[in-house]
């Protein structure tokens, strides 16, 4: 009876992680599809459009859609296929790569402003909100990356525990 209760508790943990990953996946797909659509609109028209501050980024939007689709692979975890936790791990890895990339772009813009200030130009904080990535720290992928950090921690914790102790496997 004790192992059955332990398995039920482990199933609840898997379920929570899968639901969180699916919510992140939906958010990534919405943001990515919006960025991609705005990028296509900007590519084929002469005017730009502002859609709730979503950046106009064709390739960044495609990358966000891929990350979202990877997170949506967690649906299989809800169906009992626990080996599909790999989708969540890969999604968090991709999220980290692109989140850190956009943070580095913001940092480079800040460094560029600092160098310009040292050369005698006026200091501006515009690099935080605009910059070369169009939205600076307001870039949705940065905040989705921060939202994926708890998911990465708990998924790694569960998969590490499941691999080393056979009594915790379902």
| Residue with the larger pLDDT of the pair 89 and 9 | 89
Considering all CA atoms of the chain, what is the largest pairwise distance in Å, rounded to the nearest integer?
74
pLDDT in the model for residue 169: 44
Distance CA 160, CA 125 (A): 43
- Report the distance separating Cα 7 and Cα 1, nearest Å: 10
Structure tokens at 169: 């496997």
Lowest mean pLDDT among 61-65, 91-95, 151-155: 151-155
pLDDT in tens, 89-140: 999 999 999 999 999 998 998 999 899 999 999 988 888 877 766 777 888 8
**Total count of residues recorded for the chain:** 170
**Domain locations along the chain:** 2-164
What's the pLDDT score for residue 164? 45
């Amino acid at each position: 009876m004790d192992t059955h209760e332990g398995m039920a508790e482990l199933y609840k943990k898997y379920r929570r992680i899968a639901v969180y990953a699916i919510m992140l996946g939906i958010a990534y797909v919405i943001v990515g599809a919006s960025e991609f659509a705005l990028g296509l609109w900007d590519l084929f028209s002469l005017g730009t459009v502002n859609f709730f501050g979503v950046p106009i980024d064709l390739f960044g939007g495609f990358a966000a859609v891929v990350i979202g689709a990877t997170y949506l692979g967690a649906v299989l975890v809800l169906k009992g296929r626990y080996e599909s936790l790999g989708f969540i791990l890969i999604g968090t890895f991709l999220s980290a790569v692109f989140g850190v990339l956009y943070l580095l772009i913001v940092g480079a813009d800040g460094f560029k402003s600092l160098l310009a200030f040292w050369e005698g130009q006026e200091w501006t904080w515009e690099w935080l909100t605009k910059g070369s990535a169009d939205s600076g720290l307001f870039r949705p992928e940065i905040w989705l990356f921060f939202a994926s950090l708890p998911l990465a921690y708990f998924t790694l914790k569960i998969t590490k525990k499941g691999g080393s102790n056979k009594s915790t496997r379902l």
